[in-house]
Amino acid sequence: MNIATNIYNSLRGLMRRLGNQRLKSKLFLVYLLVTILPILSLVVFSYQLVRDQLIRQAEVNVNSTIDQININVLNRLDTYSQISTLIYLDNLLRNYLLHTYGPDDLFYLDAYDYINQTLYKMMAMYPNLTSISIYTDNRTIRSDGLFIRYTEDLPDDMKRKIMAAEGKITSFVTTSEDGADTITLARALNYLSLNYPYGILLIEFSERELYSLIVKESNNKSIFIADEQGAIITSGRQDRQFRHLSELETAGNKVMAKKLPNGWQTVVLLSYDELLREARTASAKMLIASLACVAAAVVLIYVTSRFMTKRIEILFQAIRKVERGSFDLGSQSMGEDEIGQLWFALNKMAYRMKELIQDVYTKEAARNEAEMTSLQAQISPHFLYNTLASISSLALRYHNPLVHQMADDLARFYRISP
């Protein structure tokens, strides 16, 4: 309640102070608010509009980018899947792997020759492959450490996962001693023998191959390819410091993700700072233009308010002049609008007041003169009679009858004269 009262009192005080300001200041303030508020509203609205439009456009572009990356990744994986399918369906290779070789059996030379030619040919056709290996439980066939290896060399977790896939391709990401990541596509070779696999096929290629598919799309955004557990397989970032999606800092970023059919997912972190940089740049330019418009508007408002109040100030000074009793207001033109009509009425009123005052003054002066004349007419005979009476009295006192007679005769003459 006290806060509301304080706000109300503050507003009343502000309105009172504004009400006591000069008309020019009020007009300037009103025009300024009327000009600035729409401009600021336009800037804010334009920024929000550009921002929303950029976000929508960026989301559309990122969705297209993710779709294209997923297509490229699937195409690359399909290529290697076709290699595994060729090996998976190779009956001759199956026979060589299932054959039991004796100590002096030279048949294994034919097996090595076929296996080496087949796998070398595939390696030559796809130079991005780092290795193709077949792991077998057949201890009668010698391991060359390159194409033929023993199943016992595989980690147990990998082996269980491969066997659980029942001939389908599974993927693994391993890190070598030099820190380079390798992607392994594995499948159990159980063709025509679904319950008893005769080997495990591993096709390996470098993570850099997938990196090359996303690095060109990583401008202003971070792109990650992760497996079904969220472990990051490759990233378009240079630092490569994240190993899991849970480690990513998503605050201030737009996270968009899509899954691939094999369970992998492509994740894009779109930075709002980068995304809105163009919006801020456009808004900054618009703000500069708006400030220039505001500055020009301020000048124009000042000139306009001064022009509109100048004649009012002249009219006010003329009224104060009439108030002081000066009725000569001059003959300058003030236009024909309301202010001009007020000026004309004030001039006419001042002229009429001047005439009335002059007329009253003239009549008052004539009246005073007439009264003076009347008083003089009344005072002159009495003064003369008193003077003649004094002369007659002095003549009798000093025994001069001639003067006494002359004064009495003169007095008698003025009494009988009209």
Name the strand (E) or helix (H) holding 84.
helix 23-88
Q: How far is CA 112 from CA 83, 395, 399, in A?
A: 19, 190, 196
- Provide CB contacts within 8 A for 127, sequence distance 6+: none
Q: In 3-state terms, the chain is what percent helix, strand and coil (to 5)?
A: 65, 15, 20
Would you say 210 and 234 are in contact if contact means Cβ atoms under 8 Å apart? yes
- Give the model's pLDDT for residue 17: 61
Which of 119, 60, 126 lies closest to 87 in space, CA to CA? 119
> Does CATH place domain 89-210 in 3.30.70?
no
Mean pLDDT by 10 residues, the chain (418 residues): 62 57 63 72 76 78 87 89 89 88 80 90 88 90 88 89 86 71 87 75 88 79 84 74 76 80 86 70 75 76 71 72 70 68 74 78 80 67 70 76 75 65
CA-only gyration radius of the chain, Å: 59
Q: Fold match between 32-76+218-310 and 89-210?
A: yes
Sheet containing 199-206: order of strands: 148-150, 129-136, 199-206, 181-189, 170-175
The C-alpha atoms of residue 312 and residue 318 are separated, in whole angstroms, by: 10
Question: Which of left, alpha, beta for 178 (phi over 0: left; psi -120 to 50: alpha)?
Answer: alpha
- Residue whose tokens read 């029942």: 166
58-67's contacts with Cβ under 8 Å and 24+ in sequence apart are 58/254, 58/270, 58/275, 59/254, 59/256, 59/270, 62/221, 62/254, 62/256, 62/268, 62/270, 63/256, 63/258, 65/217, 65/223, 65/268, 66/256, 66/257, 66/258, 66/266, 66/268, 67/258
Other beta carbons within 10 angstroms of residue 391's beta carbon come to: 16
Q: What's the distance, CA 286 to chain centroid?
A: 10
- Give the model's pLDDT for residue 126: 87
274-279's contacts with Cβ under 8 Å and 24+ in sequence apart are 274/220, 274/221, 275/54, 275/55, 275/58, 275/220, 276/51, 276/54, 276/55, 278/50, 278/54, 279/47, 279/50, 279/51, 279/54
Domain positions in the chain are 32-76+218-310, 89-210, 327-397
> Does CATH place domain 32-76+218-310 in 3.30.450?
yes
The C-alpha atoms of residue 360 and residue 366 are separated, in whole angstroms, by: 10
